[in-house]
Chain A
């Protein structure tokens, strides 16, 4: 898949999955698109359908209700698909580990490839995460 990944890295299209976050990571993701950060200059584009996506940006602690939907979205995505966990929520559960409504193991629901910790991570950190992903894709 090396040749394919190299082409992918030139312009990754992302789809945003909000799996019970607090919204902040989501608005920071949207912030990436606006003039200050403008990630479209790096070829990163937010798309409206998971079928067009190369990378899923998952934010939030994935609660019991949303988990089947997140799983479904992952299944519907064309492979290869890479999953980026945005924020402390997917990487460590943030302060919700005592909750009765979150899934026990987030990696069972959707296999994460890369995490960007921070609550919320700064847009710069997300760009750095995307750059690392591109590096890996380029081999």
Chain B
């Protein structure tokens, strides 16, 4: 964008005290108002798709888990869905409940994490400390289920790797009750808070049309009145067997995004409770032994806390994928900045940027920057070239 006389550029990053990950924004401002936003990513690119194509299926589940520390169930889950899709592999019922339980616990921890960071971004550290304090028991639940606070390693092709015995189910029930009570407390207190409200209502509005045009997913789109949720639209695992609502709000501002996430957290506790109840009664194996995966293609979808994550694998009958394509939700949510950030005061810019809960670790796998001038890269061109390359690979001409 060409700068006129009274425009200035404000660079943010790549290392900035408020940003947890390395990322670089270039805000063009006129006075106080943001008129344009540019963003440079690639600081987190580690080449997952490339590495995954050299690993066996089971190894690549561990690898995709490490795409992002916050979605460390969503990626493996979408990945195993994709691999299972190749051969239409069924999973045992008990495994389905465990998968859903872990997935929903992750949503609780991720949304609480976002809530805390959102508070931190607007300088409201009390909310941060609160939200993270009550997130701790969720991590404790993960430790009981999987032995690790993050990166659970629970998903396998054909089921899950760990069972949860009855004593643990009871223990988890107890912890869930405390978490639930605390979330309810936050959900009741936060909307009444005048600071939060005056800071967030009407800020960074993403209109319904923009959300549809830009293909926004997850809470970002659901706060703008687009009722898309993979869990409801195409239920996998135990989502078809449990009862829950999809939260949809209409205004599209940061406030609505916050409320969507809070209410979703409550829905998640509801799902978790149902899963735990079922784990008491539904017995049976947790893993179907899958000997081999035949040649073919498969897609896997899952509603991650940030939106739909999509995995595609192509196999040739060996024990590894010959093509593994990953599409993370932040990648489609990030372009909504151009709609929601323009025209707002610069002080509101950061919370608007944070409101889509962007995860750059997820996003940055698709671009190779080495040896090139990063400014000269044309994303559209690269992406088209990539599509063309894949088309040629598949069709052979």
**Chains A and B belong together in one complex:** yes
Contacts of B54 in A (CB 8 A): 98
Residues A21-49 near B (CB distance < 8 A): 21-28, 30-31, 34-36, 47-49
Mask of B54-77 contacts with A, CB within 8 angstroms, 1/0: 110001001100111110100000
Partner of B129 from A26, A34, A64, A73 at Cβ < 8 Å: A34
The digit string for A111-129, where 1 denotes a CB below 8 A from any CB of B, is 0000000011010000000
B window 1-26: CB within 8 A of A: 14-15, 17, 20-22
Count residues on chain A whose CB falls below 8 Å from chain B CBs. Answer: 41
Q: Is the CB of A98 within 8 A of B51?
A: yes
* Chain B residues in 8 Å Cβ range of A16: 20
Chain A contacts for B211, CB-based, 8 A: none
Interfacial chain A residues near B293, Cβ < 8 Å: none
With contacts A22-B69, A73-B15, A120-B150 known, is A101 near B20, CB below 8 A? no
Closest to B133 in A: A35
Interface residue A134 (Cβ < 8 Å from any Cβ of B): no
Known contacts A20-B46, A27-B150, A34-B129, A65 near B51 by CB under 8 Å: no
A3 interfacial contact with B, CB 8 Å: no
**B17: A residues at CB distance < 8 A:** 47-49
Complex contact B70–A23 (CB within 8 A)? yes
Whether the pair B20, A26 counts as a contact (CB closer than 8 A) is yes
Contact B361 A21 (CB under 8 A): yes
Residues of B within 8 A of A49 (CB): 17
Is the beta-carbon distance between A96 and B51 smaller than 8 angstroms?
Answer: yes
Partner among B43, B63, B69, B136 whose Cβ is within 8 Å of the Cβ of A95 = B63
Q: Is A17 in the interface zone, CB < 8 Å from B?
A: yes
Q: Is A102 an interface residue (CB 8 A)?
A: yes
* Contact B46–A34 (Cβ < 8 Å): no
Chain B residues near A81 (CB, 8 Å)? none
Q: Given A23-B361, A65-B45: A99 and B51 within 8 A (CB)?
A: yes
The verdict on B259 contacting chain A, using a C-beta distance below 8 Å, is no
Q: Which residues of B contact A61 (CB under 8 A)?
A: 46
Q: How far does the alpha carbon of A60 sit from the alpha carbon of B15 in the complex, in Å?
A: 14
Tell me, yes or no, whether B97 is within 8 Å of chain A by CB. no
Contacts of B62 in A (CB 8 A): 95
Contact A35 B51 (CB under 8 A): no
Question: How many Å lie between the Cα of A47 and that of B66 in the bound state?
Answer: 27
Check B151 against A20 for contact (C-beta < 8 Å): no
User: In chain A, residues 57-78, which have Cβ atoms closer than 8 Å to a Cβ of chain B?
Assistant: 60-61, 63-66, 69, 73
Residues of A within 8 A of B22 (CB): 18-20, 66, 69
List, sorted by A's number, 8 A–B pairs whose CB atoms are closer than 8 Å: A27-B113, A35-B133, A63-B45, A65-B369, A69-B43, A99-B51, A101-B370, A102-B47
The interface of chain B, by Cβ under 8 A from chain A, is 14-15, 17, 20-22, 42-47, 50-51, 54-55, 59, 62-63, 66-70, 72, 113, 116, 128-129, 132-133, 136, 149-151, 359, 361, 368-370, 374
